[in-house]
Amino acid sequence: MTPLNSGPVNANALETSVMKLMQEFLARYFDGGKHDLGATPQVQFPAAQLLFQQSAATQPLAEAGGAGGLAITLVSSEGHRRKWTAWESLRTANNPNGPNLGVATRQEICYEAVAWNFWVRANGTNSRALCKRGSDGLFGLLSNKAETHALGAKGICRLKVHAPRVIQETEYVLRLVSLGATLRYPILSQTPA
């Protein structure tokens, strides 16, 4: 697991910080290359346009050579969002006496249950196979605890991914991968009571 460079989930920029983390995480895999995934070496991932919320994909979707293309759009699902808070003891990370031996501070942490939909679409000569490969790869990646640990370290945790569903297979192919998760982030400017 390679750590993510983007900052953690942030209460002051909640949507932006989450989307940056997901962009960085997904871009590592959906680049058209082969990647080790857990015990399975060299899994081939298709190249994909990564889009968020209402961003429009370039039309027509195209790969080099005009063989068709793949786009993955992450959209927040606005249903009932459960939210709860808890006070936690956090320890300073830079302690010369070793990890977790620093001074404990109290911080109020927010936990928020969220739901996202990944719309995977493809067109071109092999659009069914490309869309299936993309949605199956996304499902496998998000199901892999070792690979998603980097997201958990930044505040996107407890991922529960649902198997891809076929939505459309006519002019272009559309599949849906749904994901439930818990966001964990500090509530800013809070001091213990």
Q: Which two tokens stand for residue 65?
A: 């050579």
Q: Give the CATH number of the domain where residue 74 resides.
A: 3.30.2000
Exposure letters 8-43 (e unless 16+ CB within 10 A, then b): ebbeeebeebbbbbbebbbebbbeeeebebeeeeee
Q: Is residue 191 part of a domain?
A: no
Determine the structural domain holding residue 128 and report its residue range: 11-94+103-186
pLDDT at position 80 is 64
Q: Is residue 78 part of a domain?
A: yes
Q: Is residue 145 part of a domain?
A: yes
pLDDT at position 98 is 59
Q: Is residue 35 part of a domain?
A: yes
Q: Rounded to two decimals, what is the model's pTM?
A: 0.85
Number of domain units in the chain: 1
Q: Is residue 110 part of a domain?
A: yes
C-beta of residue 72 within 8 angstroms of C-beta of residue 48: yes
Mean pLDDT by 10 residues, the chain (193 residues): 89 92 96 88 91 74 63 84 83 58 77 95 88 95 94 96 91 91 84 51
Q: Is residue 54 part of a domain?
A: yes
Q: Is residue 6 part of a domain?
A: no
Q: Is residue 86 part of a domain?
A: yes
